[in-house]
């Protein structure tokens, strides 16, 4: 539906039809490709409708999908559901371009257990939570908003310029400070009371 809707528009463009043309005179030669695009639009709408119906039916039935519903061949299908934050507890070793398929159907070396972290000193340690990224994002957003709102009408006004500087410079300094603090922060430092014998982060 998508291709049938939009690909004919390339031909219509080369034939002189402008964008967003809602009507045109008969005999200009655009009828055929517009009809093809219209049929494609109905096909596209039908596909969207089927997906919406499927979403509603799936939600009402509330049947959880298995971890590997498509009998996948690659490593992402070997990860349990819900997916751990670390994805794989250790880097898996593979011997082909379809390692999970080889494990399931051809007696290949197992890879799925590498996605599950067991207890012990070597389980994955995820980066610690940090406030610096959100503070950097907020300060940068406010700084950019101050720049846009302070553009004025293009004429220089000394009092307005001073006021803008009083707002923009502190915001820029806050953004710079949060970025520096974020850089210097050790994301893997063990927080107080952290014990590596606990189960892996979830």
Dihedral (CA of 21, 22, 26, 29) sign: positive
Report the pLDDT value the prediction gives residue 108, as an integer from 0 to 100: 66
- Does 111 lie in the same domain as 137? no
Q: How far apart are CA 190 and CA 85, in angstroms?
A: 17
Q: Which domain holds residue 51?
A: 2-61
- Does 50 lie in the same domain as 13? yes
Report the pLDDT value the prediction gives residue 197, as an integer from 0 to 100: 47
Query: E strands within 95-188?
Result: none
Dihedral (CA of 37, 40, 46, 48) sign: negative
- Does 52 lie in the same domain as 84? no
Q: Across the 202 residues of the chain, what is the mean pLDDT of every consecutive 10-residue run?
A: 92 88 85 94 97 93 84 87 78 84 77 49 68 94 84 63 85 95 82 49 42
Token code pair at residue 24: 């045109």
Residue 197 lies in a domain: no
Report the pLDDT value the prediction gives residue 78, as an integer from 0 to 100: 85
Say how many domains are in the chain: 3
Residue 25 phi, psi (nearest 5): -75, 150
Q: How far apart are CA 74 and CA 103, in angstroms?
A: 10
- Does 57 lie in the same domain as 20? yes
Report the pLDDT value the prediction gives residue 198, as an integer from 0 to 100: 45
End-to-end CA distance of the chain: 41
pTM: 0.43
Report the pLDDT value the prediction gives residue 152, as an integer from 0 to 100: 58
The torsion region of residue 120 among left (phi > 0), alpha (psi -120 to 50) and beta comes to left
Residue 69 lies in a domain: no
Residue 120 lies in a domain: no
């Amino acid at each position: 539906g998508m291709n049938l809707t939009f690909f004919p528009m390339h031909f219509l463009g080369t034939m002189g039809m402008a964008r967003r043309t809602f009507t045109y005179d008969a005999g200009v030669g655009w009828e055929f490709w517009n009809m093809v695009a219209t049929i494609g639009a109905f096909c596209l709408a039908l596909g969207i409708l089927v997906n919406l119906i499927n979403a509603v039916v799936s939600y009402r039935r509330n049947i959880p999908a298995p971890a590997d519903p498509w009998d996948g061949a690659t490593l992402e299908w070997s990860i349990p559901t819900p997916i751990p934050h670390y994805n794989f507890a250790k880097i898996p070793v593979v011997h082909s371009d379809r390692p999970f398929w080889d494990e399931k159907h051809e007696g290949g070396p197992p890879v799925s257990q590498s996605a599950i972290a067991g207890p012990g000193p070597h389980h994955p340690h995820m980066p610690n939570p940090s406030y610096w990224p959100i503070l950097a994002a907020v300060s940068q957003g406010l700084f950019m908003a101050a720049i846009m709102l302070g553009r004025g009408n293009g004429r220089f006004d000394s009092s307005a310029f001073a006021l803008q500087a009083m707002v923009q410079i502190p915001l820029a300094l806050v953004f710079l400070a949060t970025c520096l603090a974020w850089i210097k922060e050790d994301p893997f430092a063990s927080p107080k009371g952290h014990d590596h014998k606990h189960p892996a982060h979830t």
